[in-house]
A and B are shown apart, each in its own frame.
Chain A
Amino acid sequence: MNTLKKLQSTKNLTTAILIGILLLAAFLRLINLSANPPGLYWEEAAIGYDAYSILKTGKDHHGNPWPLVAFESFGDFKPSGYFYATMPFAAIFGLNSWVVRLPSALAGILAIWLLYQFSRELKLTQSISLTSAAILAILPWHIHFSRAGFEVNLATTFLLAGSVLILKARKKNWATLPAAVLMGISMYTYHGLRLIAPLITLTIAAYTFKSIKTNRWLLPAAITGLILTLPLLVNLTNPQITQRFQETSRFPSSNAVEITNQKRAAHNFSLASRVIHHRYWLWGGEVLSGMMDHFNPTFLFLHGDSNPRHQSTTVALIYAWLVPFLLVGLYQLIKSQTSIALVVISWLLIAAFPAALTKTTPHTLRFLPAAPMVALITAVGLHSAVQVTPNKLKKLIIPSILVIALSFLAIYLYDYHQLYPKTSAQHWQVGYEELVNTVRQLPADQPIHITRDYGRPVMYLLFYSQYPPQNVQQQAASAPKDQSELLMLDHYRFTNQPPESGYWVTTTLQETMPLKTITDHQQNPIFYIYEI
């Protein structure tokens, strides 16, 4: 009876801690969501507007009804998942910047709970599971991507949910079916998941191999999974899928072919030389190198990647204080939990694989699906560090870790909320909102030319003016386009050329006085509006 009571009270304590962690996660992810990141990136604007367009008319702004695999958008064919996730929120709250970010923020909070479940399913202790949830909650990498309309963050949460369900299915076979559905959805949410999700499904399935043989839901789930991937397979050679790969692939810019040809020539193209100096070897090396770029300490702990949208100004993906615990955790897992270690390490490598096929490595965004595993490993490391601490010091170690963790969190918050909005303003297209509000006041009978220097102006016009979707759809068929980006809308032209008479929005200062200057928070000019 006593033990039962004790068990009950531990359970209550665990629940309380878990709720506390989730509240902290929610606070970190939701506070000031509409104003930091300081502006809406064009991908966010495009997602938001097309979600709005589908909601109002059942068609995207190009007039395509209910796209399944991908939205045409700027011709980059964005996976459809995030658009549909945004739709219900747009229906409730209308179209504005935090609504576009809400699916990602909520997914980020949910991921914390899912990681706890994942860890529990792997039979890791209650304290390790809670710690891993806590670390993911305060991990700068995960917070950062939960705070903007990043498809990869939503996809990662689906991936994690699917993984938890595959593990659950060992006891509750029916869970196999929703697992297959979630894994399928994740493949429609971010490009990289089209490789990551199937590979991780296989990895975790292999981990649960013993129970698979008796799983009665395996066949229905497999069929469901197949049906879900069918549209992707059918469109495999269609621009909806290939466009993205062609744009980002590392192979066209590789000099492997030249190098191997030179070396072959030195041997007069003998058979042996054609085998030894085959471009596949070099390509293999490049992909391997691209994968391993993601495990470079400078990338993970000091700088992140070179894209200011992908991490805060001076805090990288993972706090430097976690480094020793990450190493200890990895060691501890390999040593005493070899099969879990295999799952976790495979997960990390798989997460780096799609990014390695692209030109820009390392890549904070494409590698995000690895973040939950980083938190898990670190938690194992922290746990064993506390365990090996001599008893005399045990009372000290937990408070000291808490103090360190909170200090680093405070520094991160200062950096992210004080410095980051200023250093990253132009990368988040700060200025467009004010520009749209300004040009809408100008007389509509005059042509208005808006510069394309700052990227995709049409989407901001549509988004911030909540432009009626039917009107765009009508004009989209005949309007001039660059790829699929509209260059004309009503009396607006999107070009760097000034009109013969009318209004001109440009980024370069002209000789005459501008009608109005649009600036960022530090009063640096962004746009000049001239009357011509």
Chain B
Amino acid sequence: MKSKNTLILITIILLGLGLRLYQLGSVPVSLYWDEAAIAYDALSIAETSQDMHGGSWLQAILPSYGDYKAPLYIWLTALTHILLPATPFAVRLPSAIAGTLIILLVYGISKQLFKSEAAALAAAAFTAISPWALQFSRAAFEGNLGALFTAATFWFTLKARSQPQWLNAAAITGIAGVYAYFSVRFVVPLIVIATIIFSYKSINRRYLTHLTIAIIIFFLGLVPLYRSPHYQASQQFRLSTQNLLNTDDHILTANHYRELTGNSRISRAIYHRYWFLIERFAENVSDHLTFDYLFLTGDSNPRHSTGVTGIMLIATAPLFLLGLYVGIKRFPSATLLILTIWFTSLIPAAIPLETPHALRSLNALPVLQLILGLGVWHLFSHPFRFKSVILTILSLSIIINFIYYLEDYYQHYPVRSATAWQAEYHRVTNYLKPRHDEYQQFKIHNLDRIWLYVLYFLKIDPHTAQSASSNYLITQVDKYTTESISDYELTHYPPDTLVVVPHNSPALNINPIIKDTLVDQAGAPQFVTIETNQFYDQ
């Protein structure tokens, strides 16, 4: 029996791994700029032990393109770049592996909470095929790595109920999580506190000793982050995104209503700005609980969801409801714990204004699979009328739903999401690559962060890039310059230069001779290239 279960688990993990690795380098169609930035930092570290700006690889915060990234994903990618050729596949591999390990952790967590092999295997299987998990395991998302370590911390804290020394392991994975994805530092302590409250029965002297050590390890682990020279700048960068705390709509609303009701003491209490702030927070949380988000369309950002499924497959909706019900009925405290963790995971996603946000709330991923697992467990372990018919219909509809999702993911999603993944930047570098020796210089119109693609896909020597870096920008390197190009620049570049500008660039008003036009999948023009010799020949 035991070996059979092991076999099933291995099959599930292999299935999950296969789904995460198949065409990993080409679907999603291109590296997004965060991925390109990770890729080049990793390449640079692999070859020179320094990041692209010439800083040490061993920093708590890597400046990247000025967005101050967590270092762990970049380090792991440096490792894949030592072992494998520098391709999008190598950039995404750490995330794919992290996503596969999450399957194993969900199995472990379920076993810890519900003590049922069937529920745990089912939860693992749902993680393997989860559209939410697949979406973030198939691109270099630091959040996915963060979710792995958050899940690991949760698992270790559960294991510590019987063997408190696991708390130390939890502290270490907690730190790893923070260096994978910074917002984990708010989520992980809350999850651990909730889990410790849940395991109050096992708290004894030995537990407390290990807990104290674990807390010390955790806070020591955070020291490099807070002492990093980039800490202030990174905080400023993060808080610059619009969020509930730096917008004032709630104050304006409160003032307006107070004024209309005569600004009396009662009206000032009833229309207090804090009520409106709480209301907006509740609204943002609730955005993550809508049926559309959960089962129909998911996050509206095309990089975060394909749009044809929610974060769960619609066919699993009945199982999800059943799982919730069974959980509350049979495992009330464990279910309360995972619901608390779900809510906690939504907090970092509910403070910024763009909600719902599938990436910032990714730490909730295991919770939903645990609930689905409970639903399956209940169906299989209880007799009811028409059991085999219902089970067949349910399994078939989940399989059909999943195939429908996969068909879209591989056949239609790449076309639909090409722009969101910056496929056009990749197209420019593909075009330039074989032409390196044909021209003296290349001038590329400086679209947002296109220089990252030049560095990575044209395989610029990291030493050259490091010496060209200024203000976390590398715009002039080797033969390539990315800068703003108008008709003036176009006609004043030296001869033997190839210029790349968008097809609708104002520089084209002078009607230069176009060398080539780069088109997207649908054949629509995106970029044109121009040889500067035409301005000298006459």
Interface residues of chain A, those whose CB is within 8 Å of chain B, are 263, 266-267, 276, 285, 288-289, 292-293, 295-298, 301-303, 313-314, 331, 334-335, 411, 414-415, 418-419, 422-423, 522
Q: A276-B404, A289-B291, A414-B266 are in contact. Are A298 and B286 (CB under 8 A)?
A: yes
Q: Which residues of A contact B415 (CB under 8 A)?
A: 266
Give B455 Cβ to nearest chain A Cβ, in Å. Answer: 34
Q: Are A285 and B283 in contact (CB under 8 A)?
A: no
Q: Are A296 and B257 in contact (CB under 8 A)?
A: no
Q: Are A335 and B286 in contact (CB under 8 A)?
A: no
Q: Are A302 and B270 in contact (CB under 8 A)?
A: no
- Sorted nearest first, the 4 A-B pairs with minimum C-beta distance are A292-B291, A297-B286, A298-B286, A422-B260
Q: Which residues of A contact B279 (CB under 8 A)?
A: 302
Q: Are B267 and A289 in contact (CB under 8 A)?
A: no
CA distance A301 to B289 in the complex (A): 13
Q: Are A296 and B325 in contact (CB under 8 A)?
A: no
CA distance A151 to B240 in the complex (A): 49
A298, A303, A334, A415: which contacts B270 (Cβ < 8 A)?
A415
Interface assignment of B328: CB less than 8 Å from any CB of chain A: yes
CA distance A419 to B415 in the complex (A): 50
A-B contacts counted at CB < 8 A amount to: 71
B261, B286, B297, B325: which contacts A418 (Cβ < 8 A)?
B261
Q: Are B283 and A302 in contact (CB under 8 A)?
A: yes
Chosen A-B contacts, 9 in total, with CB atoms closer than 8 Å, are A263-B411, A266-B411, A292-B292, A293-B290, A296-B286, A296-B289, A298-B283, A331-B328, A419-B271
Q: A297-B286, A335-B329 are in contact. Are A418 and B296 (CB under 8 A)?
A: no
Q: Name which residue of chain A comes closest to B310, CB basis.
A: A289
Q: Which residues of B contact A313 (CB under 8 A)?
A: 257
Q: A285-B296, A289-B296, A303-B283 are in contact. Are A297 and B289 (CB under 8 A)?
A: yes
Q: Chain B interface: which size bin?
A: 20 to 34
Q: Are A411 and B260 in contact (CB under 8 A)?
A: no
Q: A298-B286, A302-B286, A303-B283 are in contact. Are A418 and B267 (CB under 8 A)?
A: yes
Q: Which residues of B contact A289 (CB under 8 A)?
A: 291-292, 296-297
Q: A288-B296, A334-B325 are in contact. Are A314 and B271 (CB under 8 A)?
A: yes
Interface assignment of B287: CB less than 8 Å from any CB of chain A: yes
B261, B266, B296, B407: which contacts A276 (Cβ < 8 A)?
B407
CA distance A295 to B296 in the complex (A): 14
Interface residues of chain B, those whose CB is within 8 Å of chain A, are 257, 260-261, 266-267, 270-271, 279, 282-283, 286-287, 289-292, 296-297, 314, 325, 328-329, 404, 407-408, 411-412, 415
CA distance A197 to B93 in the complex (A): 56
Q: Are B283 and A419 in contact (CB under 8 A)?
A: no
CA distance A297 to B287 in the complex (A): 8
Q: Are A423 and B270 in contact (CB under 8 A)?
A: no
Q: Name which residue of chain B comes closest to A303, CB basis.
A: B283
Q: Name which residue of chain B comes closest to A323, CB basis.
A: B282
CA distance A488 to B168 in the complex (A): 84
Q: Which residues of A contact B290 (CB under 8 A)?
A: 292-293, 296, 298
Give B331 Cβ to nearest chain A Cβ, in Å. Answer: 14
Q: Are A263 and B286 in contact (CB under 8 A)?
A: no
CA distance A276 to B314 in the complex (A): 16
Q: Which residues of A contact B271 (CB under 8 A)?
A: 314, 419
Q: Are B291 and A296 in contact (CB under 8 A)?
A: yes
Most A CB atoms within 10 A — which of B283, B287, B297? B283
Q: Which residues of B contact A411 (CB under 8 A)?
A: 270
CA distance A415 to B257 in the complex (A): 10
Q: Which residues of B contact A331 (CB under 8 A)?
A: 325, 328
Give A321 Cβ to nearest chain B Cβ, in Å. Answer: 13
Give B288 Cβ to nearest chain A Cβ, in Å. Answer: 10
Give B324 Cβ to nearest chain A Cβ, in Å. Answer: 9
Most B CB atoms within 10 A — which of A285, A335, A423? A285
CA distance A302 to B324 in the complex (A): 24
Q: Which residues of A contact B325 (CB under 8 A)?
A: 331, 334-335
Q: Which residues of A contact B407 (CB under 8 A)?
A: 276
Give B300 Cβ to nearest chain A Cβ, in Å. Answer: 13
Q: Are A293 and B292 in contact (CB under 8 A)?
A: yes
CA distance A335 to B286 in the complex (A): 25
Q: Are B412 and A263 in contact (CB under 8 A)?
A: yes
Give A514 Cβ to nearest chain B Cβ, in Å. Answer: 26
Taking A298-B287, A411-B270 as known contacts, 7 extra A-B pairs with beta carbons closer than 8 A to each other, sorted by chain A number, are: A298-B290, A314-B271, A334-B325, A414-B266, A414-B267, A419-B261, A422-B261
CA distance A260 to B455 in the complex (A): 39
Give B171 Cβ to nearest chain A Cβ, in Å. Answer: 35
Give A426 Cβ to nearest chain B Cβ, in Å. Answer: 14
Q: Name which residue of chain A comes closest to B412, CB basis.
A: A263
CA distance A264 to B494 in the complex (A): 49
Give B162 Cβ to nearest chain A Cβ, in Å. Answer: 30
CA distance A276 to B411 in the complex (A): 13
Q: Which residues of B contact A418 (CB under 8 A)?
A: 261, 267
Give B286 Cβ to nearest chain A Cβ, in Å. Answer: 4
Q: Which residues of B contact A298 (CB under 8 A)?
A: 282-283, 286-287, 290
Give B412 Cβ to nearest chain A Cβ, in Å. Answer: 6
Q: Are B292 and A419 in contact (CB under 8 A)?
A: no
Give B505 Cβ to nearest chain A Cβ, in Å. Answer: 29
CA distance A302 to B286 in the complex (A): 10
Give A288 Cβ to nearest chain B Cβ, in Å. Answer: 7
Q: Which residues of B contact A423 (CB under 8 A)?
A: 257, 260
Q: Which residues of B contact A335 (CB under 8 A)?
A: 325, 329
Q: Name which residue of chain A comes closest to B285, CB basis.
A: A297
CA distance A285 to B328 in the complex (A): 29
Q: Which residues of B contact A303 (CB under 8 A)?
A: 283
Give B400 Cβ to nearest chain A Cβ, in Å. Answer: 9
CA distance A522 to B261 in the complex (A): 11
Q: Which residues of A contact B328 (CB under 8 A)?
A: 331
Give B401 Cβ to nearest chain A Cβ, in Å. Answer: 11
Q: Name which residue of chain B comes closest to A295, CB basis.
A: B291
Q: Are B257 and A314 in contact (CB under 8 A)?
A: yes
CA distance A263 to B411 in the complex (A): 9
Q: Which residues of A contact B270 (CB under 8 A)?
A: 411, 414-415
Q: Are A302 and B282 in contact (CB under 8 A)?
A: yes
Give B277 Cβ to nearest chain A Cβ, in Å. Answer: 13
Q: Which residues of A contact B329 (CB under 8 A)?
A: 335
Q: Name which residue of chain A comes closest to B290, CB basis.
A: A296
Q: Name which residue of chain A comes closest to B408, CB basis.
A: A263
Q: Are A419 and B412 in contact (CB under 8 A)?
A: no
Q: Name which residue of chain A comes closest to B404, CB basis.
A: A276
Most B CB atoms within 10 A — which of A293, A303, A418? A418
CA distance A456 to B297 in the complex (A): 39
CA distance A303 to B257 in the complex (A): 15
Q: Which residues of B contact A314 (CB under 8 A)?
A: 257, 271
CA distance A232 to B404 in the complex (A): 40
Q: Name which residue of chain B comes closest to A320, CB basis.
A: B282
Give B291 Cβ to nearest chain A Cβ, in Å. Answer: 3
CA distance A485 to B288 in the complex (A): 44
